[in-house]
Chain A
């Protein structure tokens, strides 16, 4: 198991290196420059380029960049002069992680419940309502939910703050709901399909013939088995959440990395864009690693070899 995790961490580093390289060169291909203020003279731009090392040959820049990353140095921001990218990310990653984790937990748990109820009450009005809810949740983008929540729940009813990150947990409630809709809908759809299959399976019939009441068969046998494919989609859902957070954080004016990412792209702040890309990539690969380890806990058939017995 430990050997396996170490191996996976090795792959993780390789992945990060590749992502860092690709983003680095993509940045260089981007049209425009960070120093596009029309008041800057030619000499001043040359000076700035020199100051940030942009005058050196491409391969030297690349080499310096990678060495820097290895030391935890992601360069300095162009837009906030003198601010290292690493501190910028460190101060902003907290709210994003909190939102992402909350949305993930709320989304999957409610999604599992919704999907399970729909499957148990298959072909009844409960199932139809759940299906419509899931389709809406899946097809309406998170920024629409965000705007609706702001308008009704925050502005009209005054239950939660409209925006900003100043009231602790209550500030996080609306963005969490807006973000959680997609994973909730996704999970519910997968859960329903899988649960319908599982409820028709032989082992559920065997459970019933042991004397399990319907709810007992569901709670002890069907739920766990139905959750196996849910684990599979946690990875892609995490990606959804990350991209969703960029928009939602902007709408709620939350000082997270999603909001920063968008701001940096509009200002051609290369080091911040690259740093955040690597950060997102890092979070995603960690999520995937956790999912793979989780798999073994839920499904004994794919428990890692060497661990059994």
Chain B
């Protein structure tokens, strides 16, 4: 498959009064043409910072220490501001988290939706507005022609997110970054928006990076999943591999904490402790202090990536040759069973 986006060894520090915060620590991933990659992790794990780097929109106190971000083979970290302006909203577009605050309250939505077209193509205002109507209808704003002159406050939250999506897709970007696009919406609207994103991906043939902390959403939309913790990707693989054959104890914790129809316990599992302070990341595996399966080596040395399959990698010492076999949490045992049913041959090979 053709890689459209490739992030290699990205390392970013934020300069603060207390010192540099190591927000992104050696992150590598790629995105294939037309696929959906979900990046999962709790708040502060570096999902959004990574995506802002891809957009070239990092805060001024962020410092890229190392790495490259290649869009169609060209490193965007080496691009000039002018080249970045030409890229944003054209090759790469972004959908933001909160539709209530991401539209300009004093500009008509017609103008806002048409703006990316006006910026990146030589098109008249009239033609751009016509296209805006088409895209607004595509994202499900009814009677769009009549509503072009309306302002954001005249739309509901769900409708506003549709408008934000229209803005993002009007130039048919090759990469669409959706930064928790459903977090601020209620559940029924969430489902609609996710369905809409899938439909649009099909229609305009774009690759989507879907940032979320909601694993339930991921299962329904993603082709591949990358799990982030404390500024690092700790496990990545096809969606089935991560969901049914997870390897990293943090991924186990996330899956345990997700209620399913099979959940019998009254109390939902929660991963104990809090994420580490990235001003001074712990030695070894950053998850070790919260990890009930942690071994001595976890507190001494950072685990490398171990390959589980062609597509599946996880950074945990549990995969090292000679590591002890641990007793898995019941939820993971259940999931591994489903995995075994789906892939009888692989399981036999182990």
Residues in chain A within 8 A of chain B (CB atoms): 201-203, 205-213, 216, 220-221, 224-225, 228, 298-301, 308
Given known pairs A203-B104, A203-B105, the reply for A212 and B119 (CB within 8 Å) is yes
- In the complex, what distance in Å separates the CA atom of A209 from the CA atom of B97? 13
Contacting pair B116 A225 (CB below 8 A) = no
The residues of B that contact A298 with a CB separation of less than 8 Å are 106
Q: How far is the CA of A83 from the CA of B55 in the complex (A)?
A: 73
Known: A206-B102, A210-B119. 14 other contacts (CB 8 A): A202-B97, A203-B101, A203-B104, A206-B104, A209-B57, A209-B94, A211-B85, A211-B90, A221-B104, A224-B107, A228-B106, A300-B151, A301-B105, A301-B153
Q: Which residues of A contact B119 (CB under 8 A)?
A: 210-212, 216
- Please determine whether A208 and B57 come into contact, CB atoms closer than 8 angstroms: yes
**Best-surrounded residue of A206, A220, A221, A224 (most CB of chain B within 10 A):** A206
- Give Cα A209–Cα B87 distance, bound, in whole angstroms: 9
Which of B102, B103, B120 has most chain A Cβ within 10 Å?
B102
Across the interface, name the chain A residue whose C-beta is closest to B82: A213
Contact of B102 among A202, A220, A228, A299 (CB under 8 A): A202
For window 65-109 of B, CB contacts with A under 8 Å fall at 81-82, 85-90, 93-94, 96-98, 101-107
Taking the complex as formed, is B27 at the interface, i.e. its CB lies under 8 A from any CB of chain A? no
- Residue B148 interfacial (CB < 8 Å): no
Q: Decide: B107 and A221 in contact? CB cutoff 8 A.
A: yes
B164 within 8 Å of A (CB atoms): yes
The interface residues of chain A lying within 8 Å CB-to-CB of B238 are none
Majority DSSP secondary structure for residues of B touching A: mixed
Q: How far is the CA of A223 from the CA of B132 in the complex (A)?
A: 24
Instruction: Tell me whether B106 and A300 are in contact (CB under 8 A).
Output: yes
Residue B115 is within 8 A (CB to CB) of chain A in the complex: yes
- Cβ-defined contact, B85 with A212, below 8 A: yes
Task: Give min CB distance, A303 to chain B, whole Å.
Answer: 9
Q: Does B167 contact A (CB under 8 A)?
A: yes
Question: For A209, what are the chain B residues with a Cβ–Cβ distance below 8 Å?
Answer: 55, 57, 88-89, 93-94, 96
Chain B residues closer than 8 Å to A308, beta-carbon distance? 154
Most A CB within 10 A of own CB, among B93, B98, B104 = B104
7 A-B contact pairs sorted by A residue (CB < 8 Å): A206-B103, A207-B104, A208-B57, A211-B85, A211-B90, A220-B107, A221-B104
| Per-residue interface assignment for chain B, residues 148 to 171, with 1 indicating a CB less than 8 Å from any chain A CB and 0 otherwise | 000101100000000010010000
**Chain B: CB-nearest residue to A224:** B106
- Name the CB-closest residue of B to A210: B89
- Bound CA span A301–B105, Å: 8
Least distance between A300 CB and chain B CB atoms (Å): 4
CB neighbours (8 Å) of B57 from chain A are 205, 208-209
Contacts of B86 in A (CB 8 A): 211
Distance between A81 CB and nearest chain B CB, rounded to angstroms: 56
List residues of chain B with CB within 8 A of the CB of A202. Answer: 96-98, 101-102
> Which residues of the partner chain B approach A206 to less than 8 Å between Cβ atoms?
94, 96, 102-104, 164, 167
- Partner among B98, B120, B153 whose Cβ is within 8 Å of the Cβ of A211: B120
Residues of A within 8 A of B82 (CB): 213
Could you give, for residues 32-66 of chain B, a 1 whenever the CB lies within 8 Å of some chain A CB and a 0 otherwise?
Answer: 00000000000000000000000101000000000
Contacts A202-B96, A300-B153, A301-B153; A210 near B107 (Cβ below 8 A): no
Neighbouring A residues of B85 by C-beta, 8 Å: 211-213
Q: What is the CA–CA distance of A211 and B89 in the complex, to the nearest angstrom?
A: 5
Q: Taking the nearest CB of chain A, how far is it from the CB of B265, in angstroms?
A: 38
The residue on B at minimum CB distance from A302 is B153
Looking at the assembled complex, report how far the CB atom of B170 sits from the nearest CB atom of chain A, in whole angstroms.
Answer: 9
Give complex CA distance A299, B96 in Å: 23
CA distance A151 to B40 in the complex (A): 69
Let me know if B151 and A301 touch, CB within 8 A. Answer: yes
Q: Is the CB of B102 within 8 A of A205?
A: yes
**Bound complex: CA A80 to CA B94 (Å):** 73
Q: How far is the CB of B87 from chain A (nearest CB, A)?
A: 8
Contacting B88 at CB < 8 Å: which of A201, A210, A220, A301? A210
Our pick among A207, A211, A299 for the contact of B105 (Cβ within 8 Å) is A299
CA distance A207 to B85 in the complex (A): 11
| Distance in Å: Cβ of A22 to nearest Cβ of chain B | 40
Bound-state CA distance A299–B87 (Å) is 31
A205 adjacent to B96 (CB under 8 Å) = yes
Q: Is B88 a contact partner of A211 (Cβ separation < 8 A)? A: yes
* CA–CA, A213 and B102, complex, Å: 17
